[in-house]
A and B are shown apart, each in its own frame.
Chain A
Amino acid sequence: AQKVTQAQTEISVVEKEDVTLDCVYETRDTTYYLFWYKQPPSGELVFLIRRNSFDEQNEISGRYSWNFQKSTSSFNFTITASQVVDSAVYFCALSGGATNKLIFGTGTLLAVQP
């Protein structure tokens, strides 16, 4: 069975602090994909980043970076120099190789205080 766990329910930081959101996943697929989505108060889920199971190279994209470790089944997401506009619920999600049907975690509410 596939499962995504986000242990952090809520995180509060002060603007300009770095913040890391944790994600642990379970899957029996050998090929799979991991995603982070952001859900602002308006409700729609906004795609942020994607990683596939056969590429553990960590990357940085602007203020976003991610740390993918298959050995610990973790896909953590870091926002550098957080801003008030980053306040939202962040979801980690998993898809198998066959389709892009997503299994979501329960989300982490990030509050960035000015």
Chain B
Amino acid sequence: GAGVSQSPRYKVAKRGQDVALRCDPISGHVSLFWYQQALGQGPEFLTYFQNEAQLDKSGLPSDRFFAERPEGSVSTLKIQRTQQEDSAVYLCASSPDLRGDTEAFFGQGTRLTVV
């Protein structure tokens, strides 16, 4: 497809379960970002990659969160031992470069509900 694709669109997890969220960026885009959006809030930065290198993971809320992009294209955000406070929409974005003025293209997000 032409846009950023995320799967699954919806995920319900039992507390304590591990989940993996997938992001397919726009082909050729160097940069990939993950954001977390709680209900009624703006997206908050989690981490970003330039190709396969994870350059900033300062936004990951705990060591239960892990992201990878091994071949510089598809990325996976993994959450271990999910907790109720992890319930949110996880947005992925990609852009052709990391310049400050470059717009990011967002996917539709994965809505994670932890019960």
- A→B interface (CB under 8 Å): 4, 6, 31-33, 35, 37, 42-47, 50, 52, 91, 93, 95-107
Pairwise interchain contact B108-A52, C-beta atoms closer than 8 A: no
Considering the chains assembled together, what is the distance between the CA atoms of A6 and B43 in angstroms? Answer: 13
Give Cα A35 to B93, complex, Å. Answer: 15
Tell me whether A43 and B89 are in contact in the complex, defined as CB-CB below 8 angstroms, given that A33-B100, A99-B98, A101-B56 are known contacts: yes
| A66 vs B3: C-alpha distance when bound (angstroms) | 27
Q: Does B41 belong to the interface (CB within 8 Å)? A: yes
**CB-based contact A99/B48 at 8 Å:** yes
Give the CA-CA distance A31 to B100 in the complex, in Å: 9
Contact of A100 among B3, B35, B104, B108 (CB under 8 A): B104
Q: Out of A50, A97, A100, A105, which one reaches B42, CB within 8 Å?
A: A105
B positions within 8 Å CB-CB of A: 3-4, 31, 33, 35, 40-45, 48, 55-56, 89, 91, 93, 95, 98-109, 111
- Chain B residues lying within 8 Å of A100, measured Cβ to Cβ, are 31, 95, 98-104
- Listed A/B pairs (11) with beta-carbon separation below 8 Å: A44-B107, A44-B109, A45-B106, A47-B105, A91-B42, A97-B100, A99-B98, A101-B33, A101-B56, A102-B104, A103-B45
Instruction: Determine the chain B residues whose CB is within 8 A of the CB of A31 once the complex forms.
Output: 100
Are B100's CB and A47's CB within 8 A?
no
